[in-house]
Structure 1
Amino acid sequence: MGKKSNAKKTANRNVGPVKLLPQTRGELTAVVDEVFKRCTKVPPAVAPGAAQEWAEYLEIYALIEKIRNIEKDIQLPSFPRKEQVAPFMSWLEEKKIMVKGVEIAEFEEQGFGLQATEDLEQGQVVISVPCEAMLTEETARKSYLGSLIERDPILQHMGNVSLALHTLGEFVNPQSPWQPYLRILPSSYSTTLYFTPQQLQMLKGSPILEEAVKQFRNIARQYSYFYRILHSLPEAKSWPIKDYFTYNAYRWAVSTVMTRQNRIPCKGSSGQLALIPAWDMANHQQGIYSTDYDDEKNCSVCLAQRDFKAGDQFTIYYSQRPNTELFLHNGFVYRDNKNDSLAIKLGVSKGDQLHDEKVALLSSLGLPSAGSFMLIPGSHPISPGLLAFTRIFCMDKASLDKWKDDGEKAKGLLHEDCDVGTTVQDKTWSFLHTRVTLLARAYPTTLEDDETALPTSSGLEALIRSQLICEKIILRDSASYLSTYVAK
């Protein structure tokens, strides 16, 4: 699930964790403390600009690189993935995980996935996974980490972090019942946590850049936070995770959960995050959502989302996610994504004399006074929320008075054919056209540049260019659409 790395692991399965010398451990702890300090400082009253945020990112990145260098000899056990297929399939049978009509195969850049071994009909049950075979928030609480999860505020409120620590803890525990599953997982991922500053800079102009920097900072903070806990908590001395807990290891665990997690309604729970073995081997394809949960049998069920012929790659539909989310959290881009979008950040200034009236009208439509509004693919690229916000943003007092007293009437602002008057309409189209044009100019490369470079790109560079192409196509089509109104 998500884009898998094709990197081959060299077997070091019999090598235990390296013990750092006291002096080296002291040096590492000092750098970790500095990362924690920088990542948890009180934010300024005025939000920092992009240049300052980037400068702070580079400082934290340099510290993390220093940490990675000190920790370089502490490596996770590694296992060649191909060699793990047979043990994994035997484990599936042992755990009563039903897999019918598909097998694990490799698919070029997509890495491991599932291939149909027979013709499959739409709606046919292909995979069934009992809850007891999954790694979940509940199994995390029942593990040796349970005492920490019970009292730590982060782990209590962030199930994904709890699951990441649990996944890492089980991976480094040779006695873990999930070893055959964990050994077949990728050794690295194409999430932005693996990007260098140079690769991130390729995203300049994209809204993803800010989100990727925030994500890196969050994971650096979490790593430093749990490092301090694991090396100060008395009971952690005997935990397998303690001696293997490095930045690289935590990044791997976070990326594993980020790319593979799913929410399930296990019995006795209103819903919890889980890693679902076998099901999470399927790659994404646009289609219909075909994963269900059988409450009676307490298992996850995967159905064929369409007819598949023997030899086809068996795929599932991950859900309605724009490429921004797939890029950030799954490490891939789907070029024909019908659910794609591109965010435009807009807000009503507190200095606007009509601020209160505009905010009240926006609120009546369930729209924020400041936030991200979407451009979308297709013949009508201005989303209803973006259109309504911009119309209200461009209104004078007389226009606001006309719309504010009738909630049902105000809903018309979400529709393109709504008559808001020539002045407001002209301002709306002009504002949006200017904004879209400026957004397109913020990228250091053009759509044509990226399309020309993509065929000779590979790895993370190809991934980045694919995402930029998707964004710039939306901007190009939006500008073309808006120009027809501006020209009138």
Structure 2
Amino acid sequence: MRGHSHRAGRTARKRRQKHESSARSVSLCHQPQYVKLMKFLHHRGFSSTLLQPALFTDTGRGLQTLRTIKPGQLIISLPESCLLTTSTVLDSYLGRYIKSWKPRLSPLLALCIFLVCERHRGEASDWFPYIDVLPTVYTCPAYFSDDVMALLPASVRRRALEQREAVKEMHSSNQEFFRSLQPVLSQPTADVLTYEALRWAWCSVNTRTVFMSHPSSSFLSGPDNYALAPFLDLLNHRPDVQVKAGFNDVTSCYEIRSVSGTLRYQQAFINYGSHDNQRLLLEYGFVTTANPHSVVYVDTDLLCDVLRGDRSLTQKIKFLRENNFLHNLTVSSDGPSWRLMTALRLLSLPQTLYGVGLYMCVCFHSHQWKAVLLGQLVCEESEQWSVRMAKSLCQRLLQDTCSALDKVSHLLQQCEQPIREQLNVVKSLRQEERCILGSCLKALEESHRHTDSPLGAVS
């Protein structure tokens, strides 16, 4: 438990209550798209008297309560017939092409291809009422321009580039299979199964599927846990909300049950998981304010740059990497994480520990290593050095964040809407990180007055 958690929780609640009171909503249930969606779901056995689609000023589309939802109440029970899964794909006109193809396709690719082909069919598609309400573009990094990608923090930019390359690889490596689908398409496959179309489908699946385990199929490769859930996927995420969700084998429905309840005419939320804002951006294309799970990551390259004056740094970093001390180094509003301070304390140890007989030397000096790993002070000088380095890292990260925010502001003045939406997501991420880094630096200043209690002693 962090020392300031009670205060932070009370502040966060007040901020959220003020935010909720100022948020406005407009019902979408009378718009033709949503009328068709609800008719489509009604024919498949679903109706909702508790929730309606609405547009909220703070989050965009979501689901609004029509009545007060009590703690423990079932808010959605979506029949299996409404779920779009790989079984849907294999039972469709694409089934015979997928079943006969070698090597076998992944469940993710099968769903993506189905979405692209169904969107191409337009109103002739059985799933058109659902596809018609899906976003036409996303703010996931796979959509980011190079200019926007460059404004991400180094740790998330690397993973974002990997995400974009994964989608490109999925498109380029399956051209032969795409061409095999020509008999079911009214236009050339190259015009239908484009990179842009596959990217849209990939983001649709990645951001909107619920977890639902399926028996392994002899026609597909790899685990299959995907299910697209119309209407249900309009529920937005909030980190402090608790729900119980999953497929009920007895009712054959995907069910969501509220834990704490929601007042009438408020937005109903669910929780996608205990994700920090970088993870939310990568996986879902948004960030959330006052996220209690948010941290700022310290990249190994930055660590090396700040400590570049140490002549034995290369050897020390090699040892830390081999022993998994460089993974998940972070700072939060409460200060540097235990892992970061542990890495810095290990780096502060004398050069002799990293000599030729490295592992033998470590054995001889095991009392120092054990002290560091237990969060104990090795010596005051070492602790002061570690705190100074932590401050230097935070200052560098804060400088990078402020520079990125300046660039975002400049680009926002001259860009068009799709890029504007991407920039606003990056701006939100950077603003949250600026707050975290500022609070962390204050915590580090405080540590000078409490040297008997090692910083980062609690993970």
Identify whether the pair has TM-score above 0.5, normalized to the shorter chain. Answer: yes
The equivalences for 1:320-339 within 5 A come to 320-339=274-293
Answer whether contact 2:402 2:434 (CA < 8 A) is retained. no
Once residues 288 and 413 of structure 2 are traced to their aligned partners in structure 1, the CA distance between those partners, rounded to angstroms, is 16
Cα offsets for 1:75-96 (capped at 9, x unmatched):
xxxxx99322112112222222
Shift in Å at residue 308 of structure 1?
A: 1.8
Structure 2 match to 1:139: 88
Structure 1 match to 2:332: 376
The equivalences for 1:66-465 within 5 A come to 82-108=31-57, 110-143=59-92, 144=94, 147-148=97-98, 151=101, 155-156=105-106, 159-173=107-121, 176-203=125-152, 205-231=153-179, 233=180, 236-239=182-185, 242=189, 243-266=191-214, 272-286=225-239, 287-346=241-300, 352-353=314-315, 358=320, 362=323, 368-377=324-333, 379=334, 381-396=335-350, 400-401=362-363, 404=366, 410=370, 413=372, 418-443=376-401, 445=403, 459-465=421-427
Answer whether contact 2:332 2:437 (CA < 8 A) is retained. no
Shift in Å at residue 436 of structure 1?
A: 1.9
- Normalised to the residue count of structure 2, the TM-score between the two structures is 0.73
Answer whether contact 1:125 1:303 (CA < 8 A) is retained. yes
Structure 1 match to 2:19: none
Query: Aligned residues, how many?
Result: 392
Instruction: Please identify, of 346-355 and 429-438, the stretch whose mean Cα deviation from structure 2 is larger.
Output: 346-355
* Counterpart code for 2:82: A
Structure 2 alignment gaps of length 5 or more? 1-28, 218-222, 305-311, 354-360, 452-459
Cα offsets for 1:339-361 (capped at 9, x unmatched):
1122112389997456776567x
- From the superposition, tell whether residues 446 and 196 of structure 1 become closer, same or farther in structure 2 (CA, over 3 Å): closer
Once residues 203 and 318 of structure 2 are traced to their aligned partners in structure 1, the CA distance between those partners, rounded to angstroms, is 43
* Counterpart code for 1:301: E
Shift in Å at residue 142 of structure 1?
A: 4.1
Cα offsets for 1:454-485 (capped at 9, x unmatched):
99996333222111101122222222222344
Structure 1 match to 2:358: none
Once residues 169 and 34 of structure 2 are traced to their aligned partners in structure 1, the CA distance between those partners, rounded to angstroms, is 35
- From the superposition, tell whether residues 146 and 323 of structure 1 become closer, same or farther in structure 2 (CA, over 3 Å): farther
Answer whether contact 1:264 1:273 (CA < 8 A) is retained. yes
Structure 1 match to 2:23: none
Structure 2 match to 1:5: none
Answer whether contact 1:305 1:316 (CA < 8 A) is retained. no
* Counterpart code for 1:91: F
Answer whether contact 1:102 1:115 (CA < 8 A) is retained. yes
Cα offsets for 1:210-237 (capped at 9, x unmatched):
3333322322232233345423x3x543
Once residues 240 and 483 of structure 1 are traced to their aligned partners in structure 2, the CA distance between those partners, rounded to angstroms, is 66
What is the CA RMSD across the aligned residues, in angstroms? 3.8
* Counterpart code for 1:185: L
Once residues 385 and 192 of structure 1 are traced to their aligned partners in structure 2, the CA distance between those partners, rounded to angstroms, is 28
Shift in Å at residue 449 of structure 1?
A: 9.2
- From the superposition, tell whether residues 141 and 402 of structure 1 become closer, same or farther in structure 2 (CA, over 3 Å): farther
Once residues 478 and 161 of structure 1 are traced to their aligned partners in structure 2, the CA distance between those partners, rounded to angstroms, is 42
Shift in Å at residue 300 of structure 1?
A: 1.6
Once residues 385 and 150 of structure 1 are traced to their aligned partners in structure 2, the CA distance between those partners, rounded to angstroms, is 50
Shift in Å at residue 294 of structure 1?
A: 1.8
Once residues 163 and 120 of structure 2 are traced to their aligned partners in structure 1, the CA distance between those partners, rounded to angstroms, is 25
* Counterpart code for 1:335: T
- Residue 130 of structure 2: SS of its match in structure 1? helix
Answer whether contact 1:440 1:472 (CA < 8 A) is retained. yes
Answer whether contact 1:258 1:330 (CA < 8 A) is retained. yes
Answer whether contact 2:112 2:205 (CA < 8 A) is retained. yes
Structure 2 match to 1:33: none
Instruction: Please identify, of 261-270 and 125-134, the stretch whose mean Cα deviation from structure 2 is larger.
Output: 261-270
Answer whether contact 2:62 2:235 (CA < 8 A) is retained. yes
Answer whether contact 1:357 1:400 (CA < 8 A) is retained. no
Once residues 126 and 98 of structure 2 are traced to their aligned partners in structure 1, the CA distance between those partners, rounded to angstroms, is 21
